[in-house]
């Protein structure tokens, strides 16, 4: 049990490192991102609320998470027959802009009636 704190420290250090790396990404422009969603809307809806049963909602998701997901599809680290194709066409700036746009949308939750 003595080794647990040091392992926790290493884990935190690794996390901090990856947040620092993510923070160095180019800033995304939400307005530019909105204009780039034309090809996404068929599945993810006009405002990032999915219309295809298999597609996830994108509205309000964290920017870092969205950008990572898109980069992972593009690199092949994450695979999906639809998204792997979609992500190939995206530049780093496209990804930053799209992530900024979808994360800028506010979602409201309410309990089921």
Considering CB under 6 A, how many residues would be counted as binding ligand HEC?
19
Residue with Cβ nearer ligand HEC (10 or 82): 82
Measured distance CA(7)–CA(37) in Å, rounded: 42
Name residues whose C-beta falls within 8 Å of residue 78's C-beta, 6 or more positions apart in sequence: 69, 72, 84
Sites for ligand HEC among residues 35-94 (CB under 6 A): 39-40, 42-44, 52, 54-56, 58, 61, 66, 69-70, 80, 82-83, 86
Sites for ligand HEC among residues 86-105 (CB under 6 A): 86, 98
Residue with Cβ nearer ligand HEC (15 or 35): 35
Taking every pair of Cα atoms in the chain, the longest distance, rounded to a whole number of angstroms, is 54
Q: How far apart are the first and last CA of the chain?
A: 47
Report the interface residues with ligand HEC, using CB under 6 A. 39-40, 42-44, 52, 54-56, 58, 61, 66, 69-70, 80, 82-83, 86, 98
């Amino acid at each position: 049990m003595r080794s647990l704190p040091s392992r926790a420290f290493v884990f935190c250090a690794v996390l901090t490192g990856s947040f620092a790396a993510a923070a160095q990404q180019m800033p995304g422009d939400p307005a530019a991102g909105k204009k780039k969603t034309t090809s996404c809307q068929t599945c993810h809806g006009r405002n990032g609320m999915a219309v295809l049963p298999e597609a996830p909602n994108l509205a309000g998701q964290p920017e870092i998470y969205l950008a990572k997901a898109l980069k992972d599809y593009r690199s092949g680290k994450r695979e999906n027959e639809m998204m792997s194709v979609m992500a190939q066409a995206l530049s780093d700036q496209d990804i930053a802009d799209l992530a900024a746009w979808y994360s800028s949308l506010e979602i409201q939750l309410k309990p089921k009636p």
